[in-house]
Amino acid sequence: MRTRSRTAPIRKNPQHQRHGHGKAHCLKILKQLSAYLDDELPREICEEIRRHLGACPNCEEFIKSLRQTITLCRHHPVRPLSPTAKVRLRRQILKVAASLRYRA
Amino acid sequence: MDLIYRFAQRLCGEPDAAKDIVQDTFLNAYRGFKKFRGDARVSTWLYTIASRACLRMRRKRKGEPERELSLEEFIPASEGEFKLQIPMDGLTPEEALQNKELRRALDQAIEKLPPKYRMVLVLRDMEGLSAKEVGTIMGLNERAVKSRLHRARLFVRRELSARGIARQGRLETDTEERMAP
């Protein structure tokens, strides 16, 4: 059985090209998008947002790029410390810690 | 050590500064170990010490003032701004980040974020901590963490998308030039 993702838009009409609602509604939705993507909103608000996304191509595009942003951040690469640098840093820390112990 | 180095590098953007922060963090942890009550995880405690060390270092170096990000500045003013796109369609995040331009844009967007927003984004979206843990580290309630996180994400989205548009624009220009008689 296919289940709908909690964040998948509900499509009212596949030809949803017209903006048939006020901009204020879009702003209200945009303010909640992070909470929506993090699954932190009550079910009824999620439903309302999904309905809106299904009917509003602008907000659908917006949420897509916001979701991509979060995905990129989650995969942001960092070059790890080399084993040599790690050994050097560890030695340095132990040396200073030993001098602190000595002073105490 | 790897955890704090990775965190510090994401926060400061520079390997040498990150090494200094690792050193500061472990020495401060050593000095303050008696004060550690054990009601948070050791990693949370180390993140707290490292984040303070990083903020101190940035203040000393750049004297950069904290800037508030208002939600209004991210509200699209035109249809085009709604539809800003990030050049990663059909790619996995790893593949997309092999694009040097996109990777540089992501690094620069994070670097441009005001520190208090950057810290929330790094801890929550990059280090994968919960909003509650981020709150503990930064001395904020969860609501404030979520509010800052949303603004930080919107900021990065705008920066990345703007690059995407520029790139698309250039590609289109190239194509037009090639097609010109």
Q: Which of A73, A67, A78 is nearest to B102 (CA)?
A: A73
- Exposed/middle/buried for A5, CB within 10 Å: 0-12, 13-18, 19+? exposed
Model confidence at A80: pLDDT above 50: yes
Chain A interface includes B144 (CB < 8 A) = no
| DSSP summary character for residue A7 | T
Bigger pLDDT: B81 or B25? B25
Question: pLDDT per residue over B113-170, tens digit each?
Answer: 998 999 999 999 999 999 999 999 999 999 999 999 999 999 999 988 866 544 444 4
Q: CA torsion A84→B25→B9→B93, rounded to 10°?
A: 100
Let me know if residue A90 belongs to a domain.
no
Compare CB distances from B23 to A30, A75, A89 and report the shortest one's residue: A89
Let me know if residue A70 belongs to a domain.
yes
Bigger pLDDT: B37 or B155? B155
CA distances from A55 to A46, A84, A88, B147 (A): 14, 56, 58, 26
- Residue B128 in contact with residue A71, Cβ under 8 Å? no
Interface list for B 2-61 with A (CB within 8 A): 2, 5-6, 9-10, 15, 19, 22-23, 26-27, 30-31
Let me know if residue A92 belongs to a domain.
no
User: Which residue range(s) make up the domain with A71?
Assistant: 15-79
The minimum CA-CA distance between B37 and chain A, rounded to whole Å, is: 21
Let me know if residue A43 belongs to a domain.
yes
Let me know if residue A75 belongs to a domain.
yes
Question: pLDDT per residue over A49-74, tens digit each?
Answer: 999 999 998 899 999 999 999 999 99
What is the distance between the alpha carbons of residues B86 and B158, in angstroms, rounded to a whole number?
A: 9
What is the distance between the alpha carbons of residues B62 and B7, in angstroms, rounded to a whole number?
A: 20
How confident is the model at residue B40, as a pLDDT? 77
Let me know if residue A102 belongs to a domain.
no
* Residues in A touching B22 (Cβ below 8 Å): 89, 93
* Structural domains counted in chain A: 1
Cβ distance B75 to A30 less than 8 Å, yes or no, reads yes
Let me know if residue A100 belongs to a domain.
no
pLDDT band at B35 (very low <50, low <70, confident <90, very high): confident
Interface list for A 38-67 with B (CB within 8 A): 38, 40, 58-59, 61-62, 64-66
* Residues in A touching B153 (Cβ below 8 Å): 34, 66, 69-70, 73
Sequence length of chain B is: 181
Let me know if residue A39 belongs to a domain.
yes
